[in-house]
């Protein structure tokens, strides 16, 4: 009875506190940060990049502190020596706390309207490779940026919820989240991650592979932005019904001059085959580590692909062929984790236990 009363008082308190405050769900990704608001969906999606003046401490961000996100990504590989563009989460760990905090604060302020001084609650998803200390740092950054209460959640869990998978049941569900810096493969059951493989091979590694391929085959040096552009335009993991080609520009290594090159989808597929197969191997070893009852559930539920990498044509087919399981691509895979954080926010009472361990 007393416990029930305590619970409903707490609910009323939470409800009163939420009036006027805009709670936020945040996907702190290695490539992109997304901010989501209950009832509104995704309100911000920008690259997780910050430009800083080199050698300054604390870090000084150019353009009066505005060289964050899109502004900063435009600067990658185009900066003079005194400025560098940093991706603070590049390898799925928080490499630079101060820069992460600057970025988080900037994005939060960008979407927030001041509302009677009521501070919002936030659910922030973090890569499962982060340590307890780094999680605390993320929480502190969000508090410093104005949060009243911060919950962190592991990315694959938020992603599975965002993709509409039923993870609270005693039944296995598997997700593969292919982001920029990391791929996370997870089997979940009863709201928890049961088996996890986190590997530093994802979209960035594919871009690197394209750069190496073009250099080795054509003696042409291209930048990361061009590599990503051609990968997104014509990249694939399985032969296409109709192969296409794309024009890229770079610098001829021998002549030292700018040059154009027409490259085919078959060539890009060959270039990225090694990172793709490393992702498939991680999926297989995650399956191998999964207890038999849960593994057999996957014959019904299959595998769900999330993250930007899920958009590569033919990935679904090749993973299905290699694992023998049905593979689905989540609806709007790039926003699945962010949408999951908001679903958690909307049902915090119900999910408080699910979040406790994260």
Binding site for Mg ion (CB under 5 A): 29, 179, 337
CB 51 within 8 Å of CB 84 = yes
**Full DSSP string of 98-164:** HHHHHHHHHHHHHHPPP-TTPPPEEEEEE-TT--HHHHHHHHHHHHHTT-SEEEEEEHHHHHHHHTT
Residue 223's CB is within 10 A of a number of other CB atoms, namely 16
How many positions of this chain bind ligand ADP (CB under 6 A)? 19
Containing H/E element for 257? none
Q: Which is nearer to Mg ion, 176 or 268 (CB)?
A: 176
Closest distance to ligand ADP from the beta carbon of 234 (Å):
9
SS3 45: strand
Q: Which is nearer to ligand ADP, 157 or 231 (CB)?
A: 231
The token duo for 263 is: 């490259």
Using the rule CB under 6 A, is 309 a contact of ligand ADP? yes
Q: Which is nearer to Mg ion, 88 or 179 (CB)?
A: 179
Distance CA 166, CA 301 (A): 10
Q: Which is nearer to ligand ADP, 31 or 294 (CB)?
A: 31
The token duo for 350 is: 């119900």
Considering only residues 25, 59, 235, 275, which one is a binding residue for ligand ADP as defined by CB under 6 A? 235
Using the rule CB under 6 A, is 29 a contact of ligand ADP? yes
Closest distance to Mg ion from the beta carbon of 210 (Å):
21
Closest distance to ligand ADP from the beta carbon of 82 (Å):
27
Q: Which is nearer to ligand ADP, 29 or 62 (CB)?
A: 29
Distance CA 142, CA 125 (A): 12
How far does Cα 11 stand from its chain's mean position?
Answer: 31
Using the rule CB under 6 A, is 240 a contact of ligand ADP? no
Using the rule CB under 6 A, is 283 a contact of ligand ADP? no
**Using CB under 6 A as the criterion, what x/- string covers residues 110-139 for binding ligand ADP?**
------------------------------
Using the rule CB under 6 A, is 159 a contact of ligand ADP? no
Using the rule CB under 6 A, is 203 a contact of ligand ADP? yes
CA-to-CA separations, 51 to 96, 109, 160, 329, in angstroms, rounded:
13, 18, 32, 33
Distance CA 79, CA 254 (A): 24
Considering only residues 228, 267, 297, 358, which one is a binding residue for ligand ADP as defined by CB under 6 A? 228
Using the rule CB under 6 A, is 88 a contact of ligand ADP? no
Closest distance to ligand ADP from the beta carbon of 6 (Å):
38
CB 209 within 8 Å of CB 274 = yes
Q: Which does 88 bind (CB under 5 to 8 A by kind): Mg ion, ligand ADP, none?
A: none
Residue 124 backbone dihedrals phi, psi, to 5 degrees: -115, 125
The contact set with ligand ADP (CB under 6 A) reads 29-32, 179-181, 203-204, 228, 231-232, 235, 307-309, 311-312, 334
């Amino acid at each position: 009875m007393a416990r029930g009363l305590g619970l409903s008082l707490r609910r009323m308190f939470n409800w009163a506190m939420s009036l006027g405050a805009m709670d936020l769900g945040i996907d702190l990704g290695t490539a992109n940060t997304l901010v989501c608001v209950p009832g509104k969906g995704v309100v911000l999606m920008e690259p997780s990049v910050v430009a800083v003046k080199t050698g300054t401490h604390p870090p000084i961000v150019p353009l009066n502190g505005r060289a964050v996100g899109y502004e900063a990504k435009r600067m990658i590989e185009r900066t003079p020596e005194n400025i560098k563009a940093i991706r603070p989460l590049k390898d799925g760990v928080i490499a630079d706390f101060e820069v992460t905090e600057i970025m988080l604060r900037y994005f939060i302020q960008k979407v927030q309207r001041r509302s009677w001084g009521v501070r919002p609650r936030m659910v922030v998803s973090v890569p499962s490779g982060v340590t307890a200390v780094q999680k605390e740092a993320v929480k502190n950054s969000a508090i410093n940026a104005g949060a009243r209460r911060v919950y962190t959640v592991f990315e694959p869990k938020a992603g599975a919820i965002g993709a509409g998978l039923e993870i609270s049941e005693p039944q296995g569900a598997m997700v593969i989240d292919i982001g920029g810096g990391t791929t996370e493969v997870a089997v979940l059951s009863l709201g928890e991650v049961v088996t996890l493989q986190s590997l530093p091979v994802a979209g960035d590694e594919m871009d690197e592979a394209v750069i190496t391929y073009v250099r080795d085959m054509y003696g042409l040096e291209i930048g990361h932005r061009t590599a990503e552009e051609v990968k997104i335009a014509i990249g694939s993991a399985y032969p296409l019904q109709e192969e296409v080609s794309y024009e890229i520009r770079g610098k001829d290594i021998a002549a030292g001059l700018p040059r154009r090159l027409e490259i085919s989808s078959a060539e890009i597929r060959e270039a990225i085959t090694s990172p793709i197969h490393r992702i498939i191997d991680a999926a297989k070893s995650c399956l191998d580590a999964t207890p038999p009852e849960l593994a057999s559930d996957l014959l019904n539920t299959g595998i769900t692909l999330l993250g930007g990498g899920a958009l590569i044509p033919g990935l679904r087919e090749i993973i299905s062929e290699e694992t023998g399981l049905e593979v689905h691509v989540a609806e709007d895979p790039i926003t699945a984790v962010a949408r999951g954080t908001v679903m958690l926010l909307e049902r915090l009472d119900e999910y408080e236990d699910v979040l406790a361990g994260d």
